[in-house]
Amino acid sequence: MEPRKTDYALRIFLFFVAILLISSVIFLVFNLTKTKSAELSASPPPTSPSICIPPSSGEIFHTVFLSPSPTVPVGAIGDGYYYVKLKDHTSQKEVLSFFLHGKNTVNFNVDVGTYDLYFAHGDVWYGEDLLFGDDTEYMMAESPIVISQNNDPIQIWAPSIFQGEDLIISTTPIDAVRF
C-alpha cells in the first residue's frame, strides 16, 4: 500500500506546525531571559557616599551663643577633620557644633557654664548626615568642660592617631548613637 498524497501533506503540515511551535517557545524563553536581564541591569548599582568638600575650619553648623560671651580657643592636635559638638552638661542639648581642620585653632563665643565636648573625627568628609562615613571615630571628653571668663585653650585629638600624647582633655570612644 502506498501512502496517500494527503498523508504526506498532513505530515509536512504537522512538521511545520511543530517547528513553528518550537521556535515560538524558544523565542518566548529568549525574550523573557532578555527582559529579566535588562531589568537586572536597569536597577541602579549600589552607590557609595559622595565625597564633599570639607567646610572651612571654624564653620559653625549650630549655635545658641551670642556675643559678648567669653571667647574660647578650640584646637585640634591631630590630622584629619573634626566635627565638634558642645552639649549643655545638665540638659544634654546641643549648644554649639562646628567643623575643625586638624592642627588648627579657632575661637568661639561660648557662654559661661559647664559643657560636654563630643567630636567625630575622620579623613574624608561626606557631609553632615554621614560625617566621615564608615571610618568615623566618635569621641567625648571624659570630664565636663567648665567655661569661665578666663579660659585656657581647649585641645582635642584623635587617640587612635596620637596615643600617649600629653593632652589637655582626655577623651574616650563612644558609639554613633551617643554622639
pLDDT in tens, 72-108: 778 787 889 999 999 999 999 999 999 999 988 888 8
Does residue 31 sit in the same domain as residue 98?
A: no
Shared-domain flag, residues 42 and 93 = no
Is 53 among the domain residues? no
The single residue listed with the C-alpha cell 552638661 is 89
Average pLDDT over residues 32-52: 67
Tell me the CB-side half-sphere exposure of residue 49, using CA atoms within 13 A. 15
The least confident of 12-21, 115-124, 127-136 is: 12-21
Distances 162 to 21, 89, 165 between C-alpha atoms, Å: 75, 27, 6
Range of the structural domain that residue 6 is part of:
1-47
- Both 30 and 113 in a single domain? no
Distance CA 105, CA 32 (A): 63
Least confident of 19-33, 79-93, 142-156: 142-156
User: 140 and 65 in one domain?
Assistant: yes
Its pTM surpasses 0.85: no
Find the angle CA(77)-CA(104)-CA(163) to the nearest 5 degrees.
10
What CATH number does residue 148 fall under? Answer: 2.60.40
